Amino acid sequence: MRFHGQRGTLTPSHILLVGLGLLAVRVAAVAQPVEPQGAFSIAAWAGLQLTSSVYTAGGSVSIDPAPSYGAALTLTVDPEFEFELLWTLTSTEAHLVSSAGPASSGQDHLDISYFQMGLTKSIRCAEFECFGDATLGAVLLSPGAILLADGQRLNVHDTWRAAFTLGAGIRFRLVDRLSVVLQARILVPVYITGGSFYAGNGASVLVVSAGIPCVEGAFSAGLVLAL
């Protein structure tokens, strides 16, 4: 499945990006030290994920909002920073509108899995612990067969792409070592179309051509267990 980016109008994902920026400003204004807990923590959550339309060489693909699930394993570097391994999964339905032929009939299944690693920054905000994180890694797109309106069946292979995420949220402790987490996250797949390397007298440059086919926004709630 080959995706090509295209400029669009304001989407819920763009609104989410603005909201994360405003939250970061608010967090900075009320920052306090974070209380240390365990060296490791395990988090699990569920929520809703939204995806902007994808534009391909053969037409546009709209992707339905769908439940999302995720888990993370974190290692505390110091009281304010954690190293994070992140996984998320969304099972949704996609709709192809062909630019050269019939549109797909019905709904075409699509699984979207992110595998990421990154850093989390935490700050105490009154009764809550506020945090923001950034991760890098890959996304796996696993589409089902596409059924066209004329009865033709198109089999599509799984596709790996580079990806990154940006997130923010709050935690509040229920009991010792167990907390509730509310978070919002932007998930962004990236396709790389090519690269070039230039070397000269005293300097060298690596140039990579890439694009963003879509932007996804996820809102979730879950639990964090400190070990």
Q: What does the alpha-carbon distance between residue 128 and residue 117 come to, in Å, rounded to a whole number?
A: 24
Domain ranges of the chain: 12-226
Q: How confident is the model at residue 121 (pLDDT cuts 50, 70, 90)?
A: very high
Q: Would you state the pLDDT for residue 89?
A: 97
* CA angle (45 as vertex; 173, 65 as ends), nearest 5: 135
- Considering the domain 12-226, what is its CATH architecture? Beta Barrel (2.40)
Q: Would you state the pLDDT for residue 49?
A: 97
Asked if residue 18 lies in contact with residue 226, where contact means CB atoms within 8 angstroms, the answer is no
Q: For the whole model, what pTM was predicted? A: 0.78
- Mapped onto helix, strand or coil, the DSSP state of residue 141 is strand
**φ and ψ at residue 24, rounded to 5 degrees:** -60, -40
Percent of the chain past pLDDT 90, that is, above it, reads: 46
Q: Which of 45-49, 138-142, 202-206 has the lowest mean pLDDT?
A: 202-206
The one-letter amino acid at 37:
Q
User: Quick one: average pLDDT of 90-98?
Assistant: 86
Asked if residue 123 lies in contact with residue 154, where contact means CB atoms within 8 angstroms, the answer is no
Task: Please give the residue that has the higher pLDDT: either 78 or 10.
Answer: 78
Q: Would you state the pLDDT for residue 2?
A: 43
Calculated CA dihedral for residues 66, 53, 220, 136, nearest 10 degrees: 120
- DSSP assignment, residue 151? S
Q: What does the alpha-carbon distance between residue 12 and residue 184 come to, in Å, rounded to a whole number?
A: 12
Q: Would you state the pLDDT for residue 216?
A: 96
Q: Would you state the pLDDT for residue 28?
A: 46
Q: What does the alpha-carbon distance between residue 61 and residue 51 come to, in Å, rounded to a whole number?
A: 10
Asked if residue 2 lies in contact with residue 59, where contact means CB atoms within 8 angstroms, the answer is no
